[in-house]
Amino acid sequence: MKTSGIIYGINPVYEALSAGIRLEQVLISKNKKNARIEKIISLCREKHINFRFEDESILYRHTDGHQGVIALPVSGPSLLQSPDELISLLDKKEQALVLLLDGITDPHNLGAVSRSAFFFGADCLIADLHNSCPVNDTVHKTSAGASLGLKYLFTKLSAAINALQDASFTVYAAVLDHDAQKITDTQFSGRSAILLGSEGRGIRRHLREMDIEKIFIPRVRTFNSLNVSCAASVLLYEYARQINISKKI
């Protein structure tokens, strides 16, 4: 799965700098002078990030829609090669959180989910090898660079679920099935994996029929579902809330 590695746009670059994403250099258009650009320059100086002013034509060589600023990360996102590699990395962790994404083909959705995953401390995002978008520049922009601080694994989801369960993870599927349990009534295990599907199709049948826990987000109004990134945020928050309470933080 090929990836790129630039962050572009004023807000994404500013937030990447604020979050401490490792950046090699920030390119700023000579034609852009405003208060938000000045804030980016100040952050670069504060964090000792190299920046330079370039003709706008140079920025357009990287991407359109740059708003006069592009950040070049030190390295791209971390792409794991197999479920076994992930399990090895998480072997000693009592609390570990993994997101499984089925059919998330819109890079804006993947970017938004990545942003929430980074914010709430998820260890890895696992997506289907043949049914997902790549981690590209749109993902980096939408996630405000958070994608560059995450681990990703593109693999067969059923195999990933089996490997996680063998490594003492409890796998939860976010569904609207009649036998699903409210997340507020669910006690998440320290080692948890949460499976989310696309807004249109949801989680595929063969995955839903695996031996996994089914959970749902209770709603106030009769409405079909949340956007996948919104649902991910609610589920990630509930896991983090429970784990932090148990740790008395």
Q: Write the CATH number for 176.
A: 3.40.1280.10
Residue 21 confidence (pLDDT): 80
Q: Are 92 and 199 part of one and the same domain?
A: yes
pLDDT tens for each residue of 64-76: 888 899 988 776 6
Look at residue 1 and tell me if it is in a domain: no
Query: Of 42, 73, 104, at which residue does a domain stop?
Result: 73
Q: How much of the chain, in percent, has pLDDT values that exceed 70?
A: 94
Look at residue 2 and tell me if it is in a domain: no
Q: Are 150 and 201 part of one and the same domain?
A: yes
DSSP at 148: G
Look at residue 218 and tell me if it is in a domain: yes
Q: Is the pLDDT of residue 3 over 50?
A: no
Q: Is the pLDDT of residue 141 over 80?
A: yes
Look at residue 22 and tell me if it is in a domain: yes
Choose the weakest-confidence range: 87-91, 108-112, 223-227.
223-227
- pLDDT confidence tier of residue 60, bands split at 50, 70 and 90: confident
1-37 exposure pattern, b = at least 16 Cβ within 10 A, e = fewer: eebebbbbbbebbbbbbeeebebeebbbbeebeeeeb
Q: Are 223 and 172 part of one and the same domain?
A: yes
The per-residue pLDDT of the chain, averaged, comes to 89
DSSP at 169: P
Q: Are 51 and 102 part of one and the same domain?
A: no
pTM score above 0.75: yes
Per-range mean pLDDT, top range of 21-30, 73-82, 84-93, 224-233: 84-93
Q: Is the pLDDT of residue 1 over 70?
A: no
Residue 231 confidence (pLDDT): 94
Tally of domains within the chain: 2
Following CA atoms 5, 88, 186, 173 in sequence, which dihedral angle do they give, to the nearest 10 degrees?
60
Q: Are 120 and 232 part of one and the same domain?
A: yes
Look at residue 232 and tell me if it is in a domain: yes
Q: Are 119 and 220 part of one and the same domain?
A: yes
Q: Are 97 and 204 part of one and the same domain?
A: yes
Query: Of 45, 73, 101, at which residue does a domain stop?
Result: 73
In which residue are the tokens 């792409």 written? 79
In the numeric block, which tokens belong to residue 57?
A: 């034509």
Look at residue 122 and tell me if it is in a domain: yes
Compare 144 and 217 and report the one with higher pLDDT. Answer: 217
**What residue numbers bound the domain in which 209 lies?**
78-246
We report the CATH number of the domain holding residue 28 as: 3.30.1330.30
Question: Average pLDDT for residues 10-31, to the nearest whole number?
Answer: 87
Look at residue 135 and tell me if it is in a domain: yes
Look at residue 91 and tell me if it is in a domain: yes
